[in-house]
């Protein structure tokens, strides 16, 4: 499909958005529709590709542009909630829809105790929807999404790294304390290890082969986690006693703390290759911090992991593998059903 946007068009939209007055929907929501480059009219059953931006006062609450991944949705105004049912009628590819939503309206409709804590009465939420493309089938949508995955992963990783560096700066005293303990231990036991920029120590036993892992990879890992002070094992995917003896897949594009594995794991794995075996020493700030994790990992505890990268994949390969496994399961279930139906259809012997 043809893309309708360039710098001149974006500037024209911005100018029109500033000068065009708002209208009012039936529920009181203010809106305006800006048409600069009018493309095809959307009809029920189409799939919209949109850039969506949401702001509150001076804060950016969300932006598909910054995320590098447009949003997609089925165009069916009959099933849209108000006021979108009214506002999105008769829109074209290239249109930009701007909404000015009263926080009073949002707060009045929010269930008790579930209103956004930052939101105050008498303010407005501003949303913009720019329809960048239209598709007629779900397969076309899936194909379009794939073209954005790489950029979206990169942008997500960049934002996460900024966040991680702030965490490191905010916890520099604890990091310094942990670093001294790890460095003293390594020196005392004559262990050679490389320290990363973030502060993880990697003692490599086998270098591995091929390129170094990146945020576009999925690392398939075997590991055993131990306490730094006592060397007591608290988790392992190679010891059946822990109940999950199978390789563990780590999406290295998920760097944001709390989304995937602990920061120290990502830090270490991004310095490894396929086949790398290493013992990794993770300062508490890059582990579970001052909260710890359950009864096994205390607050501000340094962690030690024996790790091996047994394979390297990516999201497309993993999705294909999952689809193949799902297909096999469905075929096995169908064979079982066919067998049961065949048995039920056979006349019973007297």
pLDDT of the residue at 117: 86
In which band, very low, low, confident or very high, does the pLDDT at 91 lie, cut at 50, 70 and 90? very high
Torsion sign (Cα): 211, 217, 223, 227: positive
Read off the pLDDT of each residue in 7-36 and give the average, rounded to a whole number: 75
Torsion sign (Cα): 101, 81, 17, 30: negative
Dist CA 301 CA 288 (whole Å):
8
Read off the pLDDT of each residue in 301-322 and give the average, rounded to a whole number: 84
Dist CA 313 CA 287 (whole Å):
25
Dist CA 331 CA 344 (whole Å):
20
Read off the pLDDT of each residue in 254-279 and give the average, rounded to a whole number: 93
Kindly report which listed range (156-165, 220-229, 287-296, 330-339) carries the lowest average pLDDT score.
330-339
pLDDT of the residue at 238: 96
pLDDT of the residue at 220: 96
Dist CA 143 CA 246 (whole Å):
32
pLDDT of the residue at 319: 62
Highest-scoring range by mean pLDDT, 19-23, 36-40, 220-224: 220-224
pLDDT of the residue at 164: 95
Kindly report which listed range (81-85, 126-130, 187-191, 325-329) carries the lowest average pLDDT score.
325-329
- With a cut of 60, say whether residue 1 has pLDDT above it: no
Dist CA 184 CA 118 (whole Å):
46
- With a cut of 60, say whether residue 11 has pLDDT above it: no
Dist CA 14 CA 31 (whole Å):
15
SS3 38: coil
- Kindly list the structural domains of the chain, giving each domain's residue range(s) and its CATH number in brackets, ordered by start: 7-136 (3.10.50.40), 172-315 (3.10.50.40)
pLDDT of the residue at 274: 97
Q: How many CB atoms lie within 10 A of CB 225?
A: 23
Read off the pLDDT of each residue in 309-314 and give the average, rounded to a whole number: 91
- With a cut of 50, say whether residue 2 has pLDDT above it: no
Highest-scoring range by mean pLDDT, 7-16, 37-46, 111-120, 261-270: 261-270
Read off the pLDDT of each residue in 13-27 and give the average, rounded to a whole number: 75
Left (φ > 0), alpha (ψ -120 to 50) or beta: where does 228 sit? Answer: alpha
CA 206 to chain centre: 31
pLDDT of the residue at 18: 65
Read off the pLDDT of each residue in 180-201 and give the average, rounded to a whole number: 97
pLDDT in tens, 57-68: 989 999 999 888
pLDDT in tens, 230-252: 899 999 999 999 999 999 999 99
pLDDT of the residue at 16: 57
- With a cut of 60, say whether residue 15 has pLDDT above it: no
Report the share of the chain in percent with pLDDT over 70: 90
Report the share of the chain in percent with pLDDT over 90: 67
pLDDT in tens, 99-153: 999 999 888 888 877 888 889 999 999 999 999 999 999 999 999 998 888 788 8
pTM above 0.75, yes or no: no
């Amino acid at each position: 499909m043809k893309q309708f946007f360039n710098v001149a068009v974006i500037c024209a939209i911005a100018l029109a958005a500033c000068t065009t007055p708002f209208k009012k929907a039936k529920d009181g929501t203010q809106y305006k529709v800006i048409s600069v480059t009018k493309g095809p009219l959307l009809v029920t059953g189409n799939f919209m590709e949109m850039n969506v931006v949401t702001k509150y006062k001076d804060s950016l609450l969300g932006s598909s542009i910054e995320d590098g991944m447009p949003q997609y949705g089925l165009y069916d105004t009959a099933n849209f909630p108000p006021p979108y049912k009214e506002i999105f009628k008769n829109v074209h590819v290239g249109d930009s829809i701007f909404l000015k939503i009263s926080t009073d309206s949002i707060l009045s409709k929010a269930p008790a105790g579930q209103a956004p804590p930052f939101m105050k009465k008498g303010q407005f939420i501003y949303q913009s929807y720019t329809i960048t493309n239209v598709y007629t089938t779900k397969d076309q949508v899936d194909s379009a999404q794939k073209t954005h995955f790489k950029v979206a992963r990169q942008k997500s990783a960049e934002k996460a790294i900024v966040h991680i560096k702030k965490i490191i700066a905010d916890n520099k005293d604890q990091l310094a304390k942990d670093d001294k303990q790890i460095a003293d231990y390594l020196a005392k036991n004559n262990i050679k290890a490389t320290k990363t920029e973030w502060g993880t120590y990697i003692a490599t036993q086998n270098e591995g082969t091929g390129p170094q892992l990146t945020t576009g990879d999925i690392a398939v890992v075997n590991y055993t986690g131990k306490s730094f002070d006592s060397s007591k094992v608290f988790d392992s995917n190679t010891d059946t006693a822990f109940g999950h003896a199978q390789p563990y897949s780590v999406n290295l594009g998920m760097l944001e703390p709390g989304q995937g594995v602990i920061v120290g794991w990502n830090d270490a794995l991004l310095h490894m290759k396929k086949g790398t075996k290493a013992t990794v020493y993770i300062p508490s700030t890059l582990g579970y911090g001052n909260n710890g994790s359950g009864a096994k990992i205390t607050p501000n505890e340094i962690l030690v992991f024996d790790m091996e990268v047994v394979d390297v994949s990516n999201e497309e390969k993993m999705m294909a593998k999952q689809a193949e496994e799902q297909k096999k399961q469905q075929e096995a279930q169908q064979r079982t059903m066919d067998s049961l139906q065949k048995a039920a259809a056979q006349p019973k012997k007297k």
